[in-house]
Amino acid sequence: GDQKTLVPWTKSPVIRSGTSPNQLEIRTRGDQLVFYINGRYLTRINDTENLKRGVAGLYTSETSEVVFDDLEIKR
């Protein structure tokens, strides 16, 4: 499918830079997706795109290498 921006890009002081690890958590509550970084609430969005279907994906634009440790996706 097509890529869609759901939340405009914003910087956050809770995101660790460089090689420091970050923990990303997304919780669903009804039609809301609630985002946490490193255990701190970041934002929430309403699922207007019917994201209950499809595949999960992660994207970065500021680095050429991304490493995941203990990646877990639950439905």
Distance CA 15, CA 22 (A): 7
Distance CA 44, CA 27 (A): 9
For residue range 46-60, list pLDDT tens digits in order.
887 776 676 777 777
What pLDDT score does 38 carry? 92
For residue range 9-34, list pLDDT tens digits in order.
778 898 888 888 889 888 888 888 89
Q: Are 75 and 53 in contact (CB under 8 A)?
A: no
* End-to-end CA separation in angstroms for the chain: 20
Distance CA 74, CA 17 (A): 26
Q: 41 CB contacts (<8 Å, ≥6 apart)?
A: 34, 35
What pLDDT score does 51 carry? 67
